[in-house]
Structure 1
Amino acid sequence: MGAEQIRRWESGALAYAVSDPFGQGPLPWLRGSEQYYGDTGQFIPWYAEHVEQAERADTAGHVRADVETAATVPRPRVAGSGPRTADDVHRQIKGFTSTGAVAPGEAVDFHITVDPPQQFSVDIYRIGHYNGDGAAKITTSPRLSGIVQPAPLAADRTVSCHHWWLSWRLQIPVHWPVGAYVAVLTTADGYRSHIPFTVRDGHPADLLLLLPDITWQAYNLYPEDGRTGASLYHAWDAHGRLLGEEDAAITVSFDRPYAGAGLPLHVGHAYDFIRWAERYGYDIAYADARDMHAGRVDPTRYRGLVFPGHDEYWSAPMRRTAELAREHGTSLVFLSANTMYWQVELGPSPSGVPDRLLTCRKRRGPGRPALWREIDRPEQQLLGIQYAGRVPEPHPLVVRNADHWLWDATGAHEGDEISGLVAGEADRYFPRTTLPEHQDRILLAHSPYRDGDGVLRHQETSLYRAPSGALVFASGTFAWSPALDRPGHTDSRIQRATANLLDRICKRD
């Protein structure tokens, strides 16, 4: 088959990966030196495992064992011998959890398909700093027997695997720390996939980090097989061609794996913040956007709510919770752009499990418009700025009001350019749109960039203080969280500015 005939889904590349300006392949969250072969036959960074004894070769070439703990450095592999990423065409191993975020003492149910049927294992990792590794292995499952689950069900572009059999139930020990976790699935013949999940609790903390699982699902194109997969952005036609929003799904299901390697689009933005924040020692609790929707988040327990990644899809209860937080003096920190753009609804699965179906009609069909700004509730009334458009190529963020405390000790001066920090999508202040009620308000960046048509536009970063005393910060760019702890993207000025903000929210100044 000639290169021009290979469809994107046959090449192993995610159809939507081109929209992620910080895509690092399937694993944006891992550290270390172990490697595996990707679909192109090229080495891709994997992770380092820590063991009690690491094999070393002495000067004579003999292998000896050091007693000190060390990270294994694997020997070079021959092509095809290492772990390989499972895909949605052959479904070597794919899975999802039928439970949302869980608390210590509760259980996570995994539904996994394995083709051909064989044994597999599940390694559970927690995302964090961990001396730079980025994640730590918490436990490993016993060897499990894999089966080929039924084909996904599809109705009106909605794809669901709610009929898959339970494969493994993980009881979360009460001593496990809350946080963002990833289950790494590996078959006996070396195929690998991932399932993210969250362990939460309701205890007070300085900061509550909210993982944008609703937005993650909106972008999920599973199965990316050229036939049945659909997201709120794409679907396939009968010839395996990728269609746009007009033909995409209106409702998508949480009862299915994530496409490709099993990690959501933009997941790395949240993991970048987590690694950095845990390195700096912030007191953080964890929850998902669906927890916020379902009323399981009491914002008065926290000094601030942090939205670390792309968080585009919000339900009405989510917005009410955020507004309640601001009214009660709980600060809001939005570290991405295009936040709270589409209004969505959540409904039960066919078996009655709540909040397993996500619906957004966008501009199709009967009912009111789905854009918050089109129902006279623009995002700017909460964020202080709102979505302006895509940024095709990264541009510098231009510092404004450099004498403000946010820029203290950063070394940033008025008009300084922070390279590549305006990227992906951008927000700005809309003068004709109502501002939120505030005691004081300031724009901390004003950055020109060219849109896809070459038109000159600008990005802005906003901070205001609500009458309650709550601070509301909006970075106005996708690139803020990656600047905290993404190799090749870190910037000490953004790290310091973010610490200035969180320290003030946590009353550390």
Structure 2
Amino acid sequence: MIACYADRTSLRPGESFGLCASGDHGPVSVEIARVGAERTVVLRLEGVAVGDHPTPADAVSAGCNWPAAVAITVGADWRSGYYDIAVTDAAGETAHHFLCVRAARGREQREVLVLTTNTWHAYNYWGGQNAYCDVAALMEGGVPLPQAMEGAVGVLSTQRPFAQMLLAPPPGMPRLVNMTKRGFQRRPWAGADSAWSRDHRQSPYDGSAGFLQKWEEVYVRWAEGIEGRTFDYLTDHDLDAEPDALDPYERVIHVGHSEYWSGPQRDVVEAFTDRGGALIILSGNTAFWKVRWEDGGRRMICHKWKGLEAEAPDGLAATHLWSHPLFGRPEATMTGLSFIFGGYHRLGNCVARGAGGFTIYRPDHWALAGADLYWGDVIGDQVPLIGYENDGCAITFDDTGLPAPVSRLGVPDNLEIIGMAPAAFAEVDSPYAPLIPPEQLDVVAEIAFGDASPAGQARVLRGHAVMASFERGRGFVFNSGTTEWAHGLAARDPFVEQITRNVLARPANLA
């Protein structure tokens, strides 16, 4: 077997990284290619010597500490973007890793896509476990999901390979959404192609993170290839490590599944919006979990539900839900919405017969200009545009019949609800076996409503996916409220495309 990782994953032209690899069929070839509207190879190396190095038992938390097989310098002509690193051994086996190339200083564009790398690391189970589960035990079939979840690891090293089905799946990987409504008395299912998942031994975590064949690549192919847009790339950790990382930019974009955020990352994004920047969230389940980086980005701390009991007693550095009252910073103050008030749609038995699209309530909203939309229209139902994970807010209706936000858990008073659809935070009891990993409903109900009773938990189960915007400071936030927005662009849905163009065209208000 061949496996590899880069000891640094975000670099500017002229900077170097070590490519660490292990295999017993050396030497290997290395190919690095930018994946944008097209796949463009920028470097090929042959005959790179690789040793057969042991994998430490604690590789998930402590890393592999393999020596670098080769040092590689980012070329001056490498455009900012996502780069696929492919290492192929003499037996023809290939392992992949990634590199984010940043713009050279002083040559930045005005728009930047922030790769959701914190989420990638949280889901990465190379070595056996991730932040969710003992995935190896689960896939071996001897451990039920609730027991396997007790084997989750809260200290995650970046100095190890990625699970290949997560980072570089084979062609044809299905979406994490049921493409059709559940039929009468049909058993619920999860995902677009169960047969593909079985044939490729896909884990429950492979479709939830990563760039290739996932939301971010889908968006980039539309933005670069169809629209001809040019923009830079950063990683989540870049925002954590550099307080001035967003200074050159007017528009910051998060796509797909930006679930895990650190405190310094939030500081940078909130300051950017407050001084007049445009925060464009084409993501669902955004900033749900708080994480912490240590050792210069070599280790991400993510204890999730166990954070408050596993962390230092001061608490503020702990990892848990961003909405936990200990932190005083619910994510909705930044994003406008929260997964706590949203949930799943067209997955398992969560709104299994949902429309898969937004019902429009504010057709005169600026984001809908020229979109030929009217009150009560449904958009995206053929995509489907709503599925997997979605963010929302508590909702009331004003005396004109328009939905209005309930200002709870940081949801801003000035949030404008453009469209919405039902969502479910978890599956309810039914004759069917649950398919979605269970959440701690009592904890969520206590945070959301101050009521952990069964009645409070029942309230959590009923949510909405919401598309919305609001003004924050001198800037604005647009939130699509769904992980699946990029697939609406890939489908060339004219309503989704027009809304996206309007959002990207709205001027920032930077002083």
Q: Give the structure-2-normalised TM-score.
A: 0.72
The one-letter amino acid of 2:408's match is: T
1:103 to 12, 15, 24: 12
Change (3 A) 1:185 1:101: same
- Give the total of aligned pairs: 394
- Would you say the 8 A contact 2:61–2:299 is kept in 1? no
Are residues 1:477 and 2:475 paired? no
* Aligned 1:159-238 pairs, distance under 5 A: 160-161=63-64, 163-201=65-103, 202-203=105-106, 204-223=108-127, 229-235=128-134, 236-237=136-137
- Counterpart of 2:250 in structure 1 is 303
- Would you say the 8 A contact 1:159–1:230 is kept in 2? no
2:359 to 398, 401, 421: 398
Superposed CA deviations along residues 448-502 of structure 1, whole A, max 9, x for unmatched, are: 245522866421011112231x1201111110122223xxx44232122111100
- Counterpart of 1:360 in structure 2 is 302
Are residues 1:410 and 2:412 paired? no
Are residues 1:423 and 2:387 paired? yes
Change (3 A) 1:436 1:385: closer
- Counterpart of 2:175 in structure 1 is none
* Aligned 1:23-102 pairs, distance under 5 A: 92-102=1-11
- Counterpart of 1:499 in structure 2 is 501
- Would you say the 8 A contact 1:309–1:478 is kept in 2? yes
Change (3 A) 1:296 1:381: closer
More helix by share: 2
2:40 to 121, 132, 136: 136
Are residues 1:380 and 2:332 paired? yes
1:104 aligned counterpart, secondary structure? coil
Distance 1:366 1:248 in 2: 13
2:271 aligned counterpart, secondary structure? helix
How far apart are residue 300 of structure 1 and its match? 3.0
Are residues 1:447 and 2:421 paired? yes
- Would you say the 8 A contact 1:300–1:330 is kept in 2? no
Distance 1:456 1:434 in 2: 16
1:301 aligned counterpart, secondary structure? coil
- Would you say the 8 A contact 1:385–1:476 is kept in 2? yes
Distance 1:424 1:496 in 2: 23
Q: Which runs of 5+ in 1 are unaligned?
A: 1-91, 224-228, 349-353
- Counterpart of 1:462 in structure 2 is 468
- Counterpart of 2:453 in structure 1 is none
How far apart are residue 188 of structure 1 and its match? 2.6
1:333 aligned counterpart, secondary structure? strand
How far apart are residue 296 of structure 1 and its match? 5.4
How far apart are residue 287 of structure 1 and its match? 0.9
- Counterpart of 1:433 in structure 2 is 408
The one-letter amino acid of 2:129's match is: A
Superposed CA deviations along residues 382-402 of structure 1, whole A, max 9, x for unmatched, are: 111111223315722222312
Distance 1:159 1:398 in 2: 47
How far apart are residue 140 of structure 1 and its match? 1.4
Change (3 A) 1:237 1:175: closer
The one-letter amino acid of 1:383's match is: T
Superposed CA deviations along residues 354-411 of structure 1, whole A, max 9, x for unmatched, are: 1111112223224436211113321111111111223315722222312223122333
- Would you say the 8 A contact 2:284–2:483 is kept in 1? yes
Change (3 A) 1:359 1:449: closer
Distance 2:216 2:12 in 1: 20
More strand by share: 1
Superposed CA deviations along residues 315-354 of structure 1, whole A, max 9, x for unmatched, are: 1101110111011101111111111111111111xxxxx1
Distance 2:243 2:18 in 1: 20
How far apart are residue 260 of structure 1 and its match? 2.7
Q: Which runs of 5+ in 2 are unaligned?
A: 169-205, 395-405, 431-460
How far apart are residue 219 of structure 1 and its match? 0.5
- Would you say the 8 A contact 2:282–2:486 is kept in 1? yes
- Counterpart of 2:61 in structure 1 is 158
Change (3 A) 1:297 1:276: farther
How far apart are residue 215 of structure 1 and its match? 1.2
Change (3 A) 1:246 1:136: same
More divergent stretch after superposition (95-104 vs 390-399): 390-399
- Counterpart of 1:351 in structure 2 is none
How far apart are residue 435 of structure 1 and its match? 4.6
2:218 aligned counterpart, secondary structure? helix
Are residues 1:118 and 2:26 paired? yes
Change (3 A) 1:505 1:109: farther
How far apart are residue 297 of structure 1 and its match? 4.1
CA RMSD across the alignment? 2.4
- Would you say the 8 A contact 1:112–1:167 is kept in 2? yes
How far apart are residue 283 of structure 1 and its match? 3.4
Change (3 A) 1:145 1:296: farther
- Would you say the 8 A contact 1:311–1:336 is kept in 2? yes
- Counterpart of 2:343 in structure 1 is 389
1:325 aligned counterpart, secondary structure? helix
Superposed CA deviations along residues 57-107 of structure 1, whole A, max 9, x for unmatched, are: xxxxxxxxxxxxxxxxxxxxxxxxxxxxxxxxxxx2211110130000111
Distance 1:383 1:112 in 2: 39
Q: Give the structure-1-normalised TM-score.
A: 0.72
Sequence identity (%): 25
Change (3 A) 1:390 1:464: same
Distance 2:44 2:310 in 1: 48
Distance 1:506 1:484 in 2: 23
Distance 2:148 2:288 in 1: 18
